[in-house]
Amino acid sequence: MATLLLENVPDDLYHRIEQLASVEQVPVADEAVRLLQEAVQHQTTSTSSTDRSQREILDDVMKGRFAAQPGLPTVADMLREDRQR
């Protein structure tokens, strides 16, 4: 396993990591590695989602679309009815 030495870590950042480690009851180094892993995973996920095509994104949106039950009024019908009041 590799060793990573970080210099010039701001005191407030170190203390926040130290507090998180204390809550989790793990060494500061272990908590720092966990936070780095989460950050890299988040960055990787964010990057891959921006590489998706518009078609893929639209397909995902359409899959989650609400389909009204037959016989119910459409949004346009409800708006017309409301405007007639």
pLDDT for 58: 80
Which CA distances in Å does 22 have to 9, 13, 25, 29, 80?
18, 14, 5, 11, 60
pLDDT for 70: 81
- Residue pLDDT tens, the chain, 85 long: 889 899 999 999 999 999 999 999 999 999 999 999 999 888 777 656 566 778 887 887 777 776 677 888 888 889 999 999 8
Residues 28, 21 contacting (CB under 8 angstroms)? yes
In terms of C-beta density within 10 A (0-12 exposed, 13-18 middle, 19 or more buried), how is residue 26 classed? Answer: middle
In terms of pTM, does the model score above 0.85?
Answer: no
